[in-house]
């Protein structure tokens, strides 16, 4: 647990890319010196004790590469000034750097990443991203004390994916500029003091899949259209002036005043316009009193009076001005009659604060709850900050209504391991409407039956909480539930009561998540259970539940069903044609369901369908149909299925397509050239098929970050332009065309120095010519594989210095020569830190000096002309191939400090007894349990095979053939062969002894 302040010396870490000090106890102001770090991509300060505003010197206002900034759960305050956000160039379309692009959640299953992890509040859940995708962009300022209006400059961050400004003191209206954030998928402005209508512009955010505007002072009609009609009551609750779907309140229920706006009772809106109106109504009387202001003392007294009155009014009503200054409209025309009018106006508006103060009994229940819970206070970001001396309605994770009743309790990811039981005061919070205990560590406890007391619950999330056992029948008494998530509590079950009893009374339910709950019902049973009561259901997620098919037509009663996820169930008897009757269907996922049928083309015609995942159903057969124009499809995942045929040219109609994965199918024919016209495409995987012909030009697909065309029977062909276009794509991070019979040369390409490419694999093809110099300018490249081609020429070892992030280099089996600047040394220095180096058949005569490479795990220097001794540092490598060289001996000590699994020293000139195999050999015991492959064949070994070789517990391949070993065969070796050995070759030696009958 870190304490103190952020050291100022960090400003000298010029290459720092990820700075994450979240969940500590650092007490400091905003670390402005970090703005000098030009390469910083990720800044996480969440859950500390930072304070003050974000103002920094103008000279430090640069952050062109920052893509994640998380300041959540601190004590920052002040206004969110435009200059705080205007320098986030990577989130803007004018960025000089590779353009970020729209990212769907499932993109975390693919792509290239920074090797780091951060915690973000994603779609309302605090989640740990184990690897950070390079195009993910996020701003999280939640749970602080920021005030003022939402800055208009946010509208310029058009590549922003996540925005969370919740739990602050923001005022004013929701900026229409947020409607410009066309890539936005998660927006949380909850628990602030925002007023006015929800801008219609937000309806245009077609990728928005999470919205939370709850507990503000918003009013008016909720917009409809696109994503908005999919959001539940939770997104808008706590705004008494809002009306229309999904709220039960119609707009006719709200009185409309003369300003054609919802009543000021719901908006609490007092700004310069209303004050000017009030003052103007008495302007005549003001002229009479104007002479009073000529006296300097009178002016000062009046000014002080109005200032004190203004500060009090602001404190009561949340008026928007800077500092404590009275607006110029009052000071410049301080009319006595206006004062009277203003007082009447404030009283008549019946102003009340956003939250009532916490009621004493509510605070007592919360403190009792905290004291009864078992959790790690060092990791807590909410419970540990519950202070009995502060208003409990302002505690992290707690929200109240205007009377001070606790309505919302969000204790997700709080490391809670105990204390959630029937006696808990949690179940005395009778006004509770939303409860979230997700991502905790409860030790296999049952869901308490006292849950039934929380009759007002509309939202209940127990996912990943650690509950166990039978789901209690009492849960079915929560009849107001709209959202229920019990997923991923791996030993939860629904037997008695079963699914039918659980949902029988939950007629308001719109979202149901029971992933990994043991249900074990056939299709007729679970379809009837859902269809009998859940007529409002929009989201159904029951992956890995033990349910089966067939689908009963009764399921069609669920007219609003938009999301169906039934992955990892046995749906072998399912009739897919039934599903195309769900006209509102946006997501269908039946991954690994043992489907045994033909694909019905009509599913593709469902107009709202955005995500279709049928992967890992090897017995699902069919062809891709013609795609309709203006299709909404964003993800099509058919990997590891039995699809055949060619890709239709109408694939160009998928204008919204972001992810296309057809890996390991049986597609053939040409790849449609117009595939390169899909401008929103991010991820393309056509590997392990039978595609042939020319690789499309992808120059319009500037958002592509992953292209895998590998292992096609081809041949695939590429002109100079096509391959250069691929390598020049500004967002490309992964490119593999290995083993696809690709022919021709790789030419120089543009934008190499600004490329974000991290993996390039062109191995096992028929490429020739020299390796372009551009490749050695790819500063982000970590994996380069060009093995098994016909590249020719010389590579200067110094050129590899241009790849500072390189971790894997494979140049084997070409016609290349590595230029190492000959010297008298027996080795040559390698310029970068490497983990996997394969330079077989590269005309090497010396070892590269890798003794200080602590991350080295694979080394292949076979088929070279290396002479002399094998250096002792090689025994730290897990995979070692030094075969087909001119090596004569091994340097001692063997230094086997880590455990090698593969050792191939065959076809050298090693003399004497078999090395490092005797029980008294240095470090022999360190690696006996790990080695699986050992080849010493084709050397000049003599002596005997030591019986200690039988102690190699994991050994599966042993080849000591073609030597001069002249002893008896150890009997244990045959027993070893019977137990585990797959290959044993000790032929062409001078061995003696008896071979057991079993092996004759």
Per-residue pLDDT tens for 351-406? 333 345 889 999 999 999 999 999 999 989 999 999 999 999 999 999 999 999 99
851/712 Cα distance (integer angstroms): 39
pLDDT at 733 exceeding the cut of 50:
yes
Give me the pLDDT at residue 112, please: 36
Highest average pLDDT, of 26-40, 781-795, 839-853, comes from 781-795
Q: Could you give the 3-state DSSP secondary structure of residue 991?
A: coil
- Nearest Cα residue to 503 out of 463, 464, 475: 475
pLDDT at 442 exceeding the cut of 70:
yes
Q: Mean of the pLDDT values across residues 118-126?
A: 54
Residues 59, 147, single domain; the answer is yes
pLDDT at 518 exceeding the cut of 80:
yes
| Structural domain includes residue 523 | no
- Do the Cβ atoms of 60 and 32 come closer than 8 Å? yes
pLDDT in tens, 547-565: 999 999 999 999 999 999 9
| Structural domain includes residue 686 | no
- Nearest Cα residue to 656 out of 685, 697, 687, 627: 627
pLDDT confidence band for 900 (50 / 70 / 90): confident
Give me the pLDDT at residue 226, please: 64
pLDDT at 243 exceeding the cut of 90:
no
Give me the pLDDT at residue 918, please: 57
Least confident segment among 34-38, 65-69, 836-840, 956-960: 34-38
**C-alpha distances in angstroms, 507 versus 85, 435, 473?**
45, 19, 15
Residues β-bridged to residue 934: 903, 958
Burial of 3 (0-12, 13-18, 19+ CB in 10 A): exposed
Q: Determine the longest span between alpha carbons in the chain, in angstroms.
A: 127
**C-alpha distances in angstroms, 414 versus 142, 216, 266, 452?**
17, 25, 34, 23
pLDDT at 994 exceeding the cut of 90:
no
Pairwise pLDDT comparison (642 vs 131), residue with the higher score = 642
- Quickly count: other Cβ atoms within 10 Å of residue 347's Cβ: 9
720/715 Cα distance (integer angstroms): 16
Residues 877, 994, single domain; the answer is yes
Q: Mean of the pLDDT values across residues 937-956?
A: 86
Pairwise pLDDT comparison (815 vs 969), residue with the higher score = 815
Least confident segment among 203-207, 216-220, 463-467, 915-919: 915-919
Q: Where does 278-373 show beta strands of DSSP type E?
A: none
Instruction: Express the helix, strand and coil content of the chain in percent, nearest 5 each.
Output: 25, 20, 55
Q: State yes or no: cis peptide before 471, omega within 30 of 0.
A: no
Give me the pLDDT at residue 587, please: 95
Q: Which residues contact 715 (CB under 8 A, 6 or more apart)?
A: 692, 740, 741, 742, 743
- Nearest Cα residue to 159 out of 96, 102, 98, 227: 102
Please name the helix (run of DSSP H) or strand (run of DSSP E) that holds residue 940, with its range, or none: strand 940-941
Residues 38, 131, single domain; the answer is yes
pLDDT confidence band for 193 (50 / 70 / 90): confident
Least confident segment among 20-29, 89-98, 259-268, 426-435: 259-268
Give me the pLDDT at residue 897, please: 53
State whether the Cα torsion 663-668-670-673 is positive or negative: negative
978 phi, psi to nearest 5 deg: -65, -35
24/696 Cα distance (integer angstroms): 50
- Do the Cβ atoms of 970 and 995 come closer than 8 Å? no
- Quickly count: other Cβ atoms within 10 Å of residue 38's Cβ: 12
DSSP class of residue 191 equals S
| Structural domain includes residue 969 | yes
95/598 Cα distance (integer angstroms): 47
pLDDT at 290 exceeding the cut of 90:
no
Q: Mean of the pLDDT values across residues 754-760?
A: 93
DSSP class of residue 188 equals E
263 phi, psi to nearest 5 deg: -55, 145
pLDDT confidence band for 825 (50 / 70 / 90): low
Residues 163, 292, single domain; the answer is no
pLDDT in tens, 460-483: 999 999 999 999 999 999 999 999
| Structural domain includes residue 298 | yes
Give me the pLDDT at residue 895, please: 57
Please name the helix (run of DSSP H) or strand (run of DSSP E) that holds residue 371, with its range, or none: helix 360-372
pLDDT in tens, 599-614: 998 999 899 999 999 9
Question: What end-to-end distance do the CA atoms of the chain give, in Å?
Answer: 65
- Domain limits for position 91: 3-193
868/827 Cα distance (integer angstroms): 11
pLDDT confidence band for 998 (50 / 70 / 90): low
| Structural domain includes residue 884 | yes
676/637 Cα distance (integer angstroms): 18
777/799 Cα distance (integer angstroms): 9
Give me the pLDDT at residue 258, please: 32
DSSP letter string over 72-92?
Answer: -SSEEEEE--GGGTTT-GGGS
**C-alpha distances in angstroms, 224 versus 113, 255, 855, 962?**
37, 21, 55, 80
Q: Mean of the pLDDT values across residues 625-635?
A: 92
- Nearest Cα residue to 668 out of 639, 643, 696, 651: 643
Structure tokens at 332: 């410049």
pLDDT at 333 exceeding the cut of 60:
no
Pairwise pLDDT comparison (891 vs 315), residue with the higher score = 891
Q: Which residues contact 313 (CB under 8 A, 6 or more apart)?
A: 270, 319, 346
pLDDT at 322 exceeding the cut of 60:
no
| Structural domain includes residue 308 | yes
953/980 Cα distance (integer angstroms): 8
Gyration radius (Cα) of the chain, Å: 34
Residues 150, 31, single domain; the answer is yes
Q: Mean of the pLDDT values across residues 79-85?
A: 77
pLDDT in tens, 481-492: 999 999 998 889
DSSP letter string over 871-928?
Answer: PGGGGG-SEEE--SSEEEEEPSS----S--SEEE--SS--EESPTT-STTSTTHHHHT
Residues 187, 281, single domain; the answer is no
- Do the Cβ atoms of 953 and 976 come closer than 8 Å? no
Q: Where does 727-866 show beta strands of DSSP type E?
A: 734-736, 743-745, 759-761, 766-769, 783-785, 790-796, 808-810, 815-819, 827-829, 836-838, 847-849, 858-860
Q: Mean of the pLDDT values across residues 33-38?
A: 78
Place of tokens 């993996």: 759
Structure tokens at 9: 């010396």
pLDDT confidence band for 252 (50 / 70 / 90): low
pLDDT in tens, 393-417: 999 999 999 999 999 999 999 999 9
| Structural domain includes residue 87 | yes
Place of tokens 């040409």: 670
**Angle formed by the axes of helices 272-280 and 336-348, nearest 10°:** 130
What percentage of the chain exceeds 70 in pLDDT?
80
Q: Mean of the pLDDT values across residues 227-233?
A: 76
Give me the pLDDT at residue 779, please: 92
Residues 59, 173, single domain; the answer is yes
Q: What are the contacts of 569-574 at 24+ separation with CB within 8 A?
A: 569/542, 569/543, 569/544, 569/545, 569/593, 570/594, 571/595, 572/548, 572/596, 573/523, 573/548, 573/549, 574/523, 574/549, 574/550
355/192 Cα distance (integer angstroms): 10
- Give the number of domains in the chain: 3
Give me the pLDDT at residue 256, please: 38
Q: Mean of the pLDDT values across residues 740-747?
A: 89
* Residue where one domain finishes, among candidates 348, 380, 404: 348
DSSP letter string over 581-643?
Answer: G-TT--EEE-TT----SBPPGGGGG-TT--EEE--SEEEEEE---PPPTT----EEE--SEEE
pLDDT at 316 exceeding the cut of 80:
no
pLDDT confidence band for 916 (50 / 70 / 90): low
Q: Mean of the pLDDT values across residues 34-63?
A: 77
Name the pTM for this structure: 0.66
pLDDT confidence band for 97 (50 / 70 / 90): very low
* Residue where one domain finishes, among candidates 173, 193, 213: 193
State whether the Cα torsion 995-996-998-1000 is positive or negative: positive
The full 3-state SS of 373-429, as one line of letters, equals CECCCCCCCCHHHCCCCCCHHHCCCEEECCCCCEEEEECCCCCCCECCCCCCHHHHC
Pairing between β-strand 398-400 and β-strand 406-410 as defined by DSSP bridges: antiparallel
Give me the pLDDT at residue 630, please: 87
75/258 Cα distance (integer angstroms): 41
- Do the Cβ atoms of 36 and 59 come closer than 8 Å? no
Pairwise pLDDT comparison (978 vs 753), residue with the higher score = 753
Give the domain CATH number at 961: 3.80.10.10
pLDDT confidence band for 826 (50 / 70 / 90): low
Residues 165, 293, single domain; the answer is no
pLDDT at 156 exceeding the cut of 90:
no
Structure tokens at 87: 């320098």
788/710 Cα distance (integer angstroms): 14
* Residue where one domain finishes, among candidates 298, 325, 348: 348
207/161 Cα distance (integer angstroms): 9
- Do the Cβ atoms of 731 and 708 come closer than 8 Å? no
Residues 38, 168, single domain; the answer is yes
| Structural domain includes residue 718 | no
Average model confidence (pLDDT) for the chain? 81
Q: Could you give the 3-state DSSP secondary structure of residue 662?
A: coil
- Nearest Cα residue to 11 out of 47, 51, 60, 80: 60
Residues 151, 12, single domain; the answer is yes
């Amino acid at each position: 647990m870190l304490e103190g302040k952020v050291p100022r010396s960090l400003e000298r870490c010029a290459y720092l890319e990820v700075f994450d000090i979240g969940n500590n106890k650092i007490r400091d102001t905003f670390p402005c010196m970090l703005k000098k770090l030009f390469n910083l991509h990720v800044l996480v300060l969440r859950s500390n004790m930072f304070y003050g505003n974000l103002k920094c010197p103008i000279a430090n206002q640069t952050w062109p590469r920052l893509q994640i900034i998380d300041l959540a759960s601190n004590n920052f305050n002040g206004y969110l000034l435009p200059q705080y956000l205007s320098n986030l160039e990577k989130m803007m379309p004018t960025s000089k750097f590779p353009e970020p692009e729209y990212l769907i959640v499932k993109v975390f299953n693919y792509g290239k990443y920074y090797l780091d992890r951060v915690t973000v509040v994603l779609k309302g859940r605090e989640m740990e991203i184990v690897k950070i995708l390079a195009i993910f962009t996020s701003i999280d300022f939640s749970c602080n004390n920021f005030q003022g209006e939402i800055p208009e400059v946010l509208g310029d961050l058009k590549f922003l994916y996540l925005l969370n400004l919740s739990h602050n003191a923001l005022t004013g209206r929701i900026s229409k500029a947020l409607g410009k954030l066309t890539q936005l998928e998660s927006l949380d402005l909850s628990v602030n003091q925002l007023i006015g209508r929800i801008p219609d512009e937000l309806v245009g955010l077609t990728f928005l899949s999470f919205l939370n505007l709850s507990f503000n002072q918003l009013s008016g009609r909720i917009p409809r259209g696109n994503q908005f009609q999919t959001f539940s009551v939770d997104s808008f609750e706590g705004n008494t002036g809002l009306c229309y779907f999904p709220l039960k309140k119609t707009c006719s229920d709200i009185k409309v005043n003369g300003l054609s706006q919802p009543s000021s009772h719901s908006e609490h809106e007092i700004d310069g316009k209303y004050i000017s109106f009030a003052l103007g109504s008495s302007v005549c009387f003001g002229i009479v009193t104007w002479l009073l202001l000529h006296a300097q003392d009178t002016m000062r007294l009046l000014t002080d009076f109005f200032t004190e009155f203004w500060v009090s009014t602001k404190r009561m009503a949340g008026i928007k001005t800077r500092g404590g200054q009275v607006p110029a409209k009052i000071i410049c025309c301080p009319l006595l009659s206006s004062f009277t009018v203003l007082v009447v106006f404030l009283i008549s508006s019946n102003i009340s604060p956003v939250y009532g103060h916490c009621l004493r009994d509510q605070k007592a229940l919360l403190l009792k709850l905290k004291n009864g819970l078992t959790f790690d206070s060092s990791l807590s970001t909410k419970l540990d900050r519950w202070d009995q001396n502060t208003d409990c309605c302002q505690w992290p994770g707690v929200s109240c209504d205007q009377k001070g009743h606790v309505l919302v309790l969000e204790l997700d990811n709080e490391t809670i391991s105990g204390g959630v039981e029937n006696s808990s005061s949690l179940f005395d919070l009778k006004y509770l409407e939303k409860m979230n205990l997700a991502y905790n560590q409860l030790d296999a406890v049952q869901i308490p039956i006292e849950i039934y007391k929380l009759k007002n619950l509309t939202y209940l999330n127990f996912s990943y909480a650690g509950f166990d056992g039978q789901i209690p029948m009492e849960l079915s008494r929560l009849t107001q539930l709209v959202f229920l998530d019990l997923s991923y509590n791996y030993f939860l079950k629904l037997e008695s009561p079963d699914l039918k009893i659980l949902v029988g009374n939950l007629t308001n339910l719109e979202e149901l998540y029971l992933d990994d709950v043991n249900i074990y019902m056939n299709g007729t049973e679970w379809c009837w259970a859902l269809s009998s009561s859940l007529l409002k259901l929009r989201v159904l997620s029951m992956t890995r539940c033990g349910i089966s098919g067939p689908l009963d037509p009764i399921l069609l009663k669920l007219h609003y069903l938009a999301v169906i996820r039934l992955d990892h169930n046995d749906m072998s008897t399912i009739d897919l044609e039934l599903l195309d009757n769900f006209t509102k269907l946006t997501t269908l996922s039946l991954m690994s369901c043992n489907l045994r049928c033909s694909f019905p083309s009509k599913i593709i015609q469902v107009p709202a369908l955005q995500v279709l995942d049928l992967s890992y159903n090897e017995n699902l057969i069919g062809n891709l149909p013609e795609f309709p124009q203006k299709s909404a499809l964003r993800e099509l995942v058919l990997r590891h299925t039995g699809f055949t045929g060619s890709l239709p040219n109408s694939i160009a109609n998928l204008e919204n397509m972001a992810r296309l994965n057809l890996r390991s199918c049986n597609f053939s024919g040409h790849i449609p050239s117009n595939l390169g016209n899909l401008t929103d495409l991010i991820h393309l995987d056509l590997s392990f098929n039978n595609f042939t012909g020319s690789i499309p030009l992808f120059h319009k697909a500037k958002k592509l970050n992953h292209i895998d065309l590998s292992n096609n029977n081809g041949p695939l062909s590429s002109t100079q332009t096509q391959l250069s276009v691929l390598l020049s794509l500004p967002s490309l991070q992964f490119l593999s065309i290995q083993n696809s019979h690709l022919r021709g040369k790789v030419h120089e390409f543009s934008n190499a120095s600004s490329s974000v490419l991290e993996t390039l694999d062109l191995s096992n093809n028929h490429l020739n010519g020299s390796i372009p110099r551009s490749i050695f300018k790819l500063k982000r490249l970590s994996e380069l594989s060009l093995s098994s081609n016909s590249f020719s020429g010389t590579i200067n070892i110094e050129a590899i210095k241009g790849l500072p992030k390189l971790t894997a280099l494979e140049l084997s089996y070409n016609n290349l020569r590595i230029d190492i600047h000959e010297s008298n040394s027996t080795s040559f220095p390698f310029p970068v830190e490497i983990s996997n180096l394969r330079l077989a058949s590269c005309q090497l005569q010396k070892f590269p000096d890798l003794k200080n490479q602590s991350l080295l795990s694979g080394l292949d220097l076979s088929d070279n002309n290396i002479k002399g001794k094998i250096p002792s540092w090689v025994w730290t490598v897990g995979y070692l191939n030094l075969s087909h060289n001119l090596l004569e001996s091994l340097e001692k000590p063997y230094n086997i400090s880590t455990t090698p699994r593969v050792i191939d020293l065959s076809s050298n000139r090693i003399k004497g007894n078999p090395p490092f195999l005797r029980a008294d050999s240095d470090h022999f015991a360190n690696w006996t349990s790990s080695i699986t492959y050992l080849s010493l064949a084709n050397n000049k070994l003599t002596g005997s095979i030591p019986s200690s070789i039988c102690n190699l517990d994991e050994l599966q391949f042993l080849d000591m053939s073609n030597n001069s070993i002249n002893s008896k065969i150890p009997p244990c070796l045959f027993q070893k062969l019977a137990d585990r050995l797959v290959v044993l070759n000790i032929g062409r030696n001078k061995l003696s002894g008896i071979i057991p009958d079993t092996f004759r």
